[in-house]
Amino acid sequence: MDTPRRHDDVFNELVSHTAAPDTQRAILASFIRQEPAPETMHLDCKRWDASSWKRHYAKQVSGMANQEGGLIIWGVEWDDFQKAPPRYVGVPGASEITRELTGIAKQATDPPVNITNLSIPESALPDRSTLKGDGIVITHIPASETAPHRASMGDERGRYFIRNGDQTSVMSHAQLQDMFGTRQRPNLYPSVLAKPFTDEKGEHLLWTTWDVINHGRGVALATTLEISFSLKYGKDAKSSALIRKCHIRARANDTAGAGSSSGLTDTHAFAQAYIPYTGQPIRSEGGHAQIVSVYFNPQPLIKHINDTYPSDYQLHIGWITGAQGMRPRRGTFRLGLSQVHVGCFEDFLRGERGVTQVSCEPTNTTENMVEIRL
């Protein structure tokens, strides 16, 4: 799952190992391998263009600082992330560019953001076969407690921006009202309905329907939902191959009601989908909307768990909700797969047990970890 804390941690690890390029290479390779896309809410990979970077720098800094922060990686091309790995083309004079970025950091936005820039040398890059520069540069933008920040240099001077998904856009009047504390905010949390489903081949699938409920006092506009599946054993992520074998599919509910079906993005460590909701605004104080249906074949998990019998394997379904005028909410639904050993999960899939529904609410713990019990 794309989270600001993970990006902060990765950047801090890179900074702490500046004298160890081999360690930096391993950190960077692991980080890129687990990213769901080259552009997310907290990551923007950019090819270095000496003639235009200043025109976009303040816009990107403003957008990420007004959201949850993130990283800009300069000198990386990564257009088709599902078919090809990133190309490290580099930044000519990376060390000098890093100093220049640092020198103008406080001029980029008003009020200033505490930006940190780091030069990653050629020796620390996971792949140097496409390198044309001297390394890459990473700009770390922290989440800000003094938002909103407006761009104060380049073509976008005077505008306020915000990062939503993989886009940086001009903030709306409503968003500015919210950040300046003059507008009621939406507050979106998901509710998941899990039920058995048998496909045309006779395979037993697990179908989950995702609603979001607005617990806030403001209407939710431009609602988004991001979900990811990962398999955990203890505190560690485990075999991504098992997740891929489950053939996780998503069917978004569009305004026409017909929906569209597609596979979730396969990202080595998990499957992930980003779903923008195109229906009507979600009314305040209890309004809800069905966003997406997700279904998958859990038989590979059942077989693996029955063969290995680990007592605390868990399927984690992470989520992030977003809308205009609210900070993203995030959490995890957790399904303990030890239920399989007593036949509970298999009975559920055969339709011998009832439908189950679970919800996250503002009263949940800060981690928003909610157990699914079948």
| Same-domain check for residues 118 and 227 | no
| Same-domain check for residues 279 and 310 | yes
User: If residue 368 lies in a helix (H) or strand (E), which one and from where to where?
Assistant: none
For 8, list phi and psi in degrees, rounded to 5. -60, -45
**For the packed helices 4-16 and 21-34, what is the interaxial angle rounded to 10 degrees?**
170
| Same-domain check for residues 279 and 331 | yes
| Same-domain check for residues 311 and 258 | yes
- 10 Å CB burial of residue 194 (0-12, 13-18, 19+) is buried
Q: Which domain CATH number covers 353?
A: 2.60.40.10
Q: Is residue 182 part of a domain?
A: no
Mean pLDDT, consecutive 10-residue segments, the chain of 374 residues?
A: 69 90 89 71 85 83 91 83 74 91 90 91 88 89 86 88 86 82 79 77 77 87 83 55 70 46 39 74 86 77 63 75 83 69 52 61 52 55
| C-alpha span between 108 and 63 (Å, rounded) | 12
Tokens coding 168:
């940086």
Looking at residue 341, its pLDDT comes to 46
| C-alpha span between 158 and 142 (Å, rounded) | 21
Please tell me whether residue 265 adopts helix, strand or coil conformation.
Answer: strand
| Same-domain check for residues 23 and 160 | yes
Please tell me whether residue 355 adopts helix, strand or coil conformation.
Answer: coil
Looking at residue 353, its pLDDT comes to 53
- 10 Å CB burial of residue 362 (0-12, 13-18, 19+) is exposed
Looking at residue 342, its pLDDT comes to 45
| Same-domain check for residues 134 and 20 | yes
Strand order across the 260-263 sheet: 260-263, 249-252, 287-296, 204-214, 188-198, 356-359
User: 18-37: buried (b, 16+ CB within 10 Å) or exposed (e) per residue?
Assistant: eeebeebbebbeebbebbbb
| Same-domain check for residues 122 and 204 | no
Rg, the chain, Cα only? 22
Which of 136, 171, 206 terminates a domain? The answer is 171
Q: Is residue 176 part of a domain?
A: no
- Which residue range(s) make up the domain with 145? 4-171
Looking at residue 210, its pLDDT comes to 87
Tokens coding 248:
């996780």
| Same-domain check for residues 159 and 194 | no
| Same-domain check for residues 154 and 279 | no
Looking at residue 363, its pLDDT comes to 52
Angle, alpha carbons 1-20-71 (nearest 5°) = 35
Total domains in the chain come to 2
pLDDT digits (tens, 9 = 90+) for 162-215: 988 778 889 988 788 777 776 677 889 888 887 777 777 777 777 788 889 998
Residue 352 CB contacts under 8 Å (≥ 6 apart), including other chains = none
| Same-domain check for residues 57 and 146 | yes
